[in-house]
Amino acid sequence: MRKNIWMGVIVACLVCASAQAQVVEPNAPPSLPPPQAIVEWLAANAAPIDVKQHLPAGPEAAAIDSITSGARVIGLGESNHGNREPLAYRNRLIRYLVERRELTAVALESGFAESRQLYDYVLGGPGDPAALLDTGLTHGFGNLRENLELITWLRAWNAQHSGRPVRLYGIDRSTIQSAPPGVRRRSVVLDHVARYLERTIPRASAPARIELMRFADRFTENDYQGYAAEDRTLLDRTLATIQAMFVTHRSEMIRRSGADDFAWAQREAYDAARLPELFRIWNVDGSDLGKLIQVIEVRDQAMADHVLWALRREGPRGRVLLFQANGHVTKAPMIGSVMRNFARQPILTGIALRRALGGKYRTIATVSSRGREASDDASGSLDRAFAAARRSPSLLSLRQGRPSGWWRKVQSASQGDTRLDDFAPARAFDGLLYFDRLTPVTPLRPRTTP
């Protein structure tokens, strides 16, 4: 389980690559004091965030609109998982975009199949929200107070605005999840598919369901390594057969379940059928960098595909707020951590979305100087510039105010501790969200220890 958690965290926080996968961008030079002109421009253009106001207004609202106007998907990144300020601002931004700019959906870096119960809950479905979060969000995100606040607010909004519902989707691959030490959680995606088939076409699906359930309690990336060759073949054949049933029995399924349940179940079957591709190349300890690149790309392409699926469901006027790590949502090269060791850089979620949506995809990254002064040369160049401008918290739009060429050159920013990410801010993001300090989240339940 620890290995599974390690890989999930490493892959979740890895930073993005060039649209030309063979080109490795240069690392930023050693951190230097920011040019005074940059500090002055930043101080003049960074919009202060007044958290006492329920919704953004004035310069903050103008910055948001500059960044997001015309976007179908808005990627908001956090420099690393587990800090209160980016999560709280995510909720603030969602409220503004829903109430003022007709946002229709929220997508989170969490398991797709697992999120179905939260999708139902925010639309008025039954259940205790804290209990639903515990199993509805993966990677341990179900234990975050800010996520409870998010689903509670979405549910309240939908109850009062039935004509303008806001939906919630997890967009990560199912079974890539964490659990408390010593706890083994059964994969839900095969169970979901099997139950749907039993409810809609019980007789026609019986043989496939029997075969599918042989794998339900060992359908994870680690368990798959122990499959015999005939088991792998049987699993692939069974999943392909089930996918075909959603085509041949479509009308009957929709008649018995409704279009919404059909769409989710068909997508879960699609997701399940592609998980073995990830399992086959899984490199548990991360020592094989070639395989690690493949794992990253398969996972991130799947996340981008799920976002685009959600966007199609939202219709031509749909707008999605995507919340992930900075390194996932970036739309241009972003290199840091283990990524520096790769011979080539992988294509991650944001770059895939930029390819699909062009200028309809916009991005915001979180930056923090972690309480360090502008004179601290251990900080990144972006961290030092913001620290010198003394604008915290603030939102900087890189789509207004004519940023200089400095913003289009490779700079560096803290990834969460002593590690730095290298990226060209105005190429990778449309806006930067800055906090001078980040504080750990307060979990809903005390964390258990081995």
pLDDT tens by residue, 300-356 = 999 999 999 999 999 999 999 999 999 999 999 888 766 777 888 789 999 999 999
Look at 267 and 178; give whichever has higher pLDDT. 267
Smallest CA-to-CA distance from 417 within 393, 397, 438 is with: 438
2-184+286-435 placed in CATH 3.40.710.10: no
In angstroms, rounded to a whole number, what is the distance separating the alpha carbons of residues 372 and 379?
7
Highest mean pLDDT among 12-16, 40-44, 216-220 belongs to 40-44
In angstroms, rounded to a whole number, what is the distance separating the alpha carbons of residues 85 and 89?
6
In angstroms, rounded to a whole number, what is the distance separating the alpha carbons of residues 141 and 214?
29
- The encoded tokens of residue 426 equal 């105005």
pTM beyond 0.95, yes or no: no
Residue 208: its pLDDT value, please? 99
**Could you count the other beta carbons within 10 Å of the beta carbon of residue 310?**
25
Residue 175: its pLDDT value, please? 67
In angstroms, rounded to a whole number, what is the distance separating the alpha carbons of residues 48 and 56?
10
188-280 placed in CATH 1.20.1440.30: yes
Q: What angle do CA 407, 408, 410 make, to 5 degrees?
A: 90
Residue 183: its pLDDT value, please? 59
Radius of gyration of the chain (CA): 22
8 Å CB contact between 344 and 25: no
Domain positions in the chain: 2-184+286-435, 188-280
In angstroms, rounded to a whole number, what is the distance separating the alpha carbons of residues 425 and 413?
10
Grade residue 7 by pLDDT with cuts at 50, 70 and 90. very low
3-class SS of residue 323? strand
Smallest CA-to-CA distance from 139 within 281, 319, 7 is with: 7
Q: What single DSSP character describes residue 52?
A: T
Residues in the chain: 450
Residue 35: its pLDDT value, please? 95
Provide the residue type at 392 as one letter.
Answer: S
In angstroms, rounded to a whole number, what is the distance separating the alpha carbons of residues 42 and 40?
5
pLDDT digits (tens, 9 = 90+) for 37-92: 999 999 999 999 998 899 999 999 999 999 999 999 999 999 989 999 999 999 99
In angstroms, rounded to a whole number, what is the distance separating the alpha carbons of residues 113 and 265?
9
As a whole number, mean pLDDT of residues 363-387 equals 91
| Residue 449, CA atoms < 13 Å, CB-side half-sphere | 0
Grade residue 19 by pLDDT with cuts at 50, 70 and 90. very low
Beta strand 394-397 pairing with 47-48: antiparallel
Q: What single DSSP character describes residue 190?
A: H
Q: Bin 127: left if φ > 0, else alpha if -120 < ψ < 50, else beta.
A: left
